[in-house]
């Protein structure tokens, strides 16, 4: 009797295990594969990524929808994870170029008395050719883009726009240009801009950072100063400069970079 009961118990356990396996396989079959990737990525990122309709995304790339004080997490700009860092740089240059060429308040700020934006676009494209995605030191995780080294002065012949180029121009792989989060962390970075409108890592923030760097290069039409003051090793001045650019370019960034 004891023996029979033991066998029965053993069979019951087998059935339970089998039932569990069948259920697991059924769940695997029913859930779309993308959702499984989604769940896996959420664990990796440590975040519950949802869009406004509750759909799970499967990356931790952030973008800003401009509507509230919190970034959304997801492939917000249509497949962002498929862009390499260098491609994101090229896209930010293209967005900044479109912003300058659309002739809004931002273009007026950058023209600063020059008769066209052609010289600014020339400076931007020269900057774009130099910019490379690289790791900066771990105490520079708040630095999006950094330019340093020897300067070369350039005059754009058609309208005399003067600008400079630095020997080194780097977009920090671990900085706010590429990610809303600090490296290896689920801590969200501060938002960027005069109204904190843009999540770090968003396309708008990338365009804003690109324009900020460009403003360091272009000399005012009257000669002398550059469009914004130098801010190396001065985070407060850097923020002030970003706010200056955002104030001039906010509407144009919203119109182009999304």
In the bound state with Zn ion, the residue whose beta carbon lies nearer, of 125 and 231, is 231
Q: Are 151 and 166 in contact (CB under 8 A)?
A: yes
Nearest residue to Zn ion, by Cβ distance, number only: 231
d(CA 230, CA 97) in angstroms, rounded, equals 22
Size of the residue set binding Zn ion (CB under 5 A): 3
| Secondary structure element (H or E) that encloses residue 73, with its range | strand 72-73
In the bound state with Zn ion, the residue whose beta carbon lies nearer, of 161 and 241, is 241
d(CA 66, CA 4) in angstroms, rounded, equals 69
Minimum CB separation from Zn ion for residue 216, in Å?
A: 6
In the bound state with Zn ion, the residue whose beta carbon lies nearer, of 59 and 238, is 238
Q: Are 200 and 207 in contact (CB under 8 A)?
A: no
Class of residue 171 by CB neighbours under 10 A (exposed 0-12, middle 13-18, buried 19+): buried
In the bound state with Zn ion, the residue whose beta carbon lies nearer, of 50 and 240, is 240
Minimum CB separation from Zn ion for residue 46, in Å?
A: 31
Mark 13-52 with x for binding to Zn ion (rule: CB under 5 A) and - for no binding.
Answer: ----------------------------------------
Q: Are 195 and 204 in contact (CB under 8 A)?
A: no
**Tally of CA atoms within 13 A in the half-sphere of 74 that contains its CB:** 19
- By CB under 5 A, the residues from 194 to 253 that bind Zn ion are 231, 238, 241
- By CB under 5 A, the residues from 145 to 204 that bind Zn ion are none
Minimum CB separation from Zn ion for residue 69, in Å?
A: 25
- Spatial neighbors of 123 by CB under 8 A, at least 6 apart, are 154, 156, 161, 163, 165, 214, 217, 218
In the bound state with Zn ion, the residue whose beta carbon lies nearer, of 174 and 238, is 238
Minimum CB separation from Zn ion for residue 149, in Å?
A: 15
> For residue 248, what are the CA distances in angstroms to 38, 58, 212, 231, 252?
39, 35, 11, 19, 9
Minimum CB separation from Zn ion for residue 218, in Å?
A: 13
In the bound state with Zn ion, the residue whose beta carbon lies nearer, of 88 and 212, is 212
Minimum CB separation from Zn ion for residue 215, in Å?
A: 8
Q: Which residues bind Zn ion (CB under 5 A)?
A: 231, 238, 241
């Amino acid at each position: 009797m004891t023996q029979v009961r033991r066998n029965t118990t053993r069979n019951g356990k087998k059935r339970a295990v089998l039932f569990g396996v069948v259920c697991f396989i059924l769940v695997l079959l029913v859930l779309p594969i993308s959702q499984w990737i989604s769940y896996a990525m959420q664990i990796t990122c440590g975040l519950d990524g949802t869009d406004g309709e509750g759909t799970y995304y499967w990356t931790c790339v952030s973008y800003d929808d401009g509507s509230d004080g919190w970034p959304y997490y997801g492939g917000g700009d249509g497949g962002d994870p498929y862009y390499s860092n260098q491609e994101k740089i090229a896209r930010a240059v293209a967005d900044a170029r479109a912003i300058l060429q659309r002739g809004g308040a931002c273009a007026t700020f950058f023209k600063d008395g020059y008769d066209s934006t052609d010289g600014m676009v020339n400076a931007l494209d020269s900057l774009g050719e130099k910019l490379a995605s690289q790791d900066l030191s771990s105490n520079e995780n708040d630095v999006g883009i950094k330019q340093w080294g020897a300067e070369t002065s350039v005059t754009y012949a058609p309208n005399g726009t003067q600008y400079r180029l630095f020997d080194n121009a780097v977009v920090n792989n671990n900085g706010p240009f590429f990610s809303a989060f600090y490296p290896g962390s689920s801590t969200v970075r501060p938002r960027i801009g005069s109204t904190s409108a843009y999540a770090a890592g968003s396309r708008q923030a990338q365009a804003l950072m690109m324009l900020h760097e460009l403003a360091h290069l272009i000399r005012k039409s009257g000669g002398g100063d550059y469009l914004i003051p130098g801010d190396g090793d001065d985070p407060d001045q850097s923020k002030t400069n970003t706010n200056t650019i955002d104030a001039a370019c906010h509407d144009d960034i919203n119109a182009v970079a999304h």
